[in-house]
Amino acid sequence: MHGQTRIEFIFGIVIFAIIVFYIVTQINTVFSTIISDYEINNMKAEALNSIINLVETGDIEKQYEAQVSVDVMLVNDISGSMGGTKLQAAKDAAKYFIMIMDNTTDRSGLATFNNTAYLDQGLTFENATVAIAIDAMIAQGMTGIGFGIDEANTELINNDRIDAIKVEILLSDGKENQVSDPLGKADQADAYGISIYTIGLGGDADHDLLEDIANNTDGKYYFAPSESQLEEIYEDIAFEIKVKKTRVGLLANRPYNLSEEKVEDLNENCDMLDKFDIDPYRLRIYKSTELVLFCGIDSLKPPKVSIMKYILVGNVLGNLTLELW
């Protein structure tokens, strides 16, 4: 009996030791993660501060030229299946979107579709006017997606502004059941430089068709499983539009402009960041896709932090990347 008791006692001690070791290991792992996150956040702050100091000194200047405008047509499905909470959520999300846009430079309008299409509100700077048209939407009838695209195309083409990006945001919860040629109308939009962002609401939407429309017009497709995601999707589309403006060299975010002479000066003084005490680092500046500045280390080891900012180099869109190890 005593031998068995001793074995059980030793076995209990071993199990207890294993449990204690596991707990200590988990605590150390969590603590290490916290320390690592803290370090990374500090490095991100250092990198951002260094970029700010870099671009706000010398002869680097900010661009404050006028923004290029955006014309946006909301294209809403008002077929019978869009009734009830779906339509109300679509109204709320659409109104939220137009309030995000800059009504000093951007115009918005509304086209709706079912068995046919309607121009509920032409392009205007007056957000309140568009909101009234949105609130007046009533769900009834069938689903003719091509009719809606065609109506929005006509408004954007006939009321074109040379300096404006043309966009449609199409929301539908069902499948095309009219002879409205949605892909043909999307091709027409693409021919006139109109991008179409599409939203498929719920499982009955024609997701393949909506995705094809977006892909064929340099837009983007979004799937909303339920109406609760709509507002977030419209917010993301607003961001996408603004980013696209920046990518094509427009000045929505007022990026810093570096003269080509300044870039040459920086190339000749690659120790400029040493005073920020962030060694080791790698600084790269691209003019479009051309690498025009490289300073710091050339390491195959992945950096701990990488911060990228859009800039203009001689009025050509590029970017500045600062990486820290």
- pTM value is 0.59
Position 32 scores a pLDDT of: 43
CATH architecture for residues 69-247: 3-Layer(aba) Sandwich (3.40)
Q: Which two tokens stand for residue 157?
A: 């083409």
Position 6 scores a pLDDT of: 56
CATH 3.40.50.410 range(s) for the chain read 69-247
User: Quick one: which of 163, 168, 308, 306 has its CA closest to 248?
Assistant: 163
Each residue's pLDDT tens digit in the chain (325 positions)?
A: 555 555 555 555 556 555 655 554 544 444 444 445 556 666 667 666 666 666 554 433 333 333 467 899 999 999 999 999 999 999 999 999 998 888 888 999 999 999 999 999 999 999 999 999 999 999 999 999 999 999 999 999 999 887 788 999 999 999 999 999 999 999 999 999 999 999 999 999 999 999 999 999 989 999 999 999 999 999 889 888 865 554 443 333 445 667 777 777 777 777 666 655 666 788 888 887 888 888 777 878 787 777 777 777 776 777 778 787 7
Position 63 scores a pLDDT of: 38
Separation of CA 255 from chain center: 17
Position 43 scores a pLDDT of: 66
Separation of CA 319 from chain center: 17
